[in-house]
């Protein structure tokens, strides 16, 4: 056994093939687009959430639940969560309320996933695609948990976000019921998330951490300065995007003509979302 370990250690010390490194870097640079691919949800500060941010917090969620997941391969679960939305780096995210056919969406995302992973070495490309197919089939324990936690993270963001005045919180109560009903832990978490949703429906503040960032804190502003920036946004940007008040800013920009953004993807650019009280506006590339 010791000889086998020494053999593996020597193998790891061998230089990695340069072309393999280059191929992985090429893929990572393409996957970076996910940081600029926006979802329909809002962050606690009122800006659109990116797909990359959603995937990060999904992975954090499953990491925190690791001790409760007996019989589930934690590493495999994390890998499924990391790759499940990668295809959206090309064509963008389609909000659940706008999805018409699950099969059509899955086929399109798979095609985009294949395109995105094309730079990878063949073995990694096949491994990644197998993970995506496993997630989509939702037959393994890991895939079922990944699907359920994905829905829960989305609902939690709806509860935490500083959303537009007409945001439909009731959507949460029916969203992902099948995915979150497959395991007792998912059902238990769902009960608390639904309770938070009902609180927002009744006019409660965004649910965050209770230290000036919501969960009952009036307005959930982290500081008086943050409130001042938000008031300036409302006065100068025509609706208060920082607070999610009104249909201004990036929502209006979805109607702009599509153009080809950096990296070859098709995006609409939301220019001048909000100057945040004097700070430069940050451009966002909105998915088609």
Asked whether the predicted pLDDT for residue 221 surpasses 50, the reply is no
pLDDT tops 50 at residue 88: yes
Taking a C-beta distance cutoff of 8 angstroms, is the pair 37, 22 a contact?
A: no
pLDDT beyond 90 at 216: no
Contact partners, residue 192, CB within 8 Å, separation at least 6: none
| CA gap 68, 185 in Å, rounded | 8
270 or 85, higher pLDDT: 85
In DSSP terms, 266 is beta-bridged to: 260
Q: Pick from 192, 221, 250: which residue ends a domain? A: 221
What is the CATH classification number for the domain harbouring 154?
1.10.3210.10
| Residue 2: predicted pLDDT | 59
Residue 252 included in any domain:
yes
3-state secondary structure of 70: coil
Q: Is residue 234 part of a domain?
A: yes
Over residues 210-236, mean pLDDT: 45
Instruction: Give the pLDDT score at 277.
Output: 39
Asked if the model's pLDDT at residue 268 lies above 90, the reply is no
Q: Are residues 135 and 259 in the same domain?
A: no
- State whether 202 and 239 are in the same domain: no
- The structural domain count of the chain equals 2
- Give the rounded distance of the alpha carbon of 156 from its chain centre: 11
DSSP result, 198-260? HHHHTTPPP-S-SSSSSTTSGGG-SSHHHHHHHHHHHHHHTS-GGGT-SS-THHHHTTSPPEE
208 belongs to a structural domain: yes
Is the residue at 237 inside a domain?
A: yes
Phi, psi torsion values for 208, nearest 5 degrees: -125, -125
pLDDT above 70: residue 249: no
Q: Domain boundary at 221, 249, 279, which? A: 221
Q: Are residues 104 and 156 in the same domain?
A: yes
Residue 73 domain flag: yes
Higher pLDDT, 250 or 33: 33
Residue 75 and residue 213 in one domain: yes
Domain that holds residue 252: 223-288
Q: Which residues contact 154 (CB under 8 A, 6 or more apart)?
A: 41, 54, 96, 175, 176
196 and 270 together in one domain: no
Q: What global pTM score does this model have? A: 0.70
* Mean pLDDT, rounded, for 17-45: 96
Residue 188: phi, psi to the nearest 5? Answer: -65, -45
Q: What is the pLDDT of residue 244?
A: 35
Contacts of 194 (CB under 8 A, 6+ apart): 172, 173
Q: Is residue 149 assigned to a domain?
A: yes
User: Is pLDDT at 50 greater than 80 in this prediction?
Assistant: yes
pLDDT interval class at 254 (50, 70, 90): very low
pLDDT at 259 over 50: no
Query: 192-207: per-residue pLDDT in tens?
Result: 999 999 999 998 767 6
From 168, 191, 221, the end of a domain falls on 221
């Amino acid at each position: 056994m010791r000889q086998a370990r020494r053999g593996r250690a020597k193998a790891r010390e061998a230089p990695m093939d340069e072309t393999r490194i280059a191929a992985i870097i090429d893929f990572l640079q393409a996957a970076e687009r996910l940081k600029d691919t926006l979802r329909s949800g809002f962050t606690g500060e009122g800006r659109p959430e990116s797909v990359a941010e959603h995937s990060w917090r999904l992975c954090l969620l499953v990491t925190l639940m690791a001790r409760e997941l007996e019989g589930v391969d934690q590493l495999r679960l994390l890998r499924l969560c990391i790759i499940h939305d990668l295809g959206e780096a090309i064509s963008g995210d389609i909000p659940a309320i706008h999805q018409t056919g699950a099969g059509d969406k899955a086929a399109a995302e798979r095609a985009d996933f294949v395109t995105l992973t094309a730079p990878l070495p063949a073995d990694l490309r096949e491994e990644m695609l197998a993970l995506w197919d496993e997630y989509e089939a939702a037959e393994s324990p890991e895939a079922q948990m990944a699907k359920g936690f994905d829905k829960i993270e989305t609902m939690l963001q709806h509860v935490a976000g500083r959303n537009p005045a007409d945001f439909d919180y009731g959507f949460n109560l029916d969203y992902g019921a099948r995915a979150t009903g497959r395991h007792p832990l998912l059902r238990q978490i769902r009960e608390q998330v639904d309770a938070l949703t009902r609180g927002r429906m009744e006019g409660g503040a965004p649910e965050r951490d209770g230290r000036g960032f919501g969960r009952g804190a009036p307005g959930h502003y982290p500081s008086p300065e943050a409130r001042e920036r938000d008031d300036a946004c409302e006065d100068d940007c025509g609706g208060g995007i920082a607070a999610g008040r009104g249909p201004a800013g990036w929502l209006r920009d979805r109607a702009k003509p599509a153009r080809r953004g950096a990296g070859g993807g098709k995006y609409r650019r939301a220019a001048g979302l909000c100057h945040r009280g004097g700070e430069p506006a940050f451009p966002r590339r909105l998915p088609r």
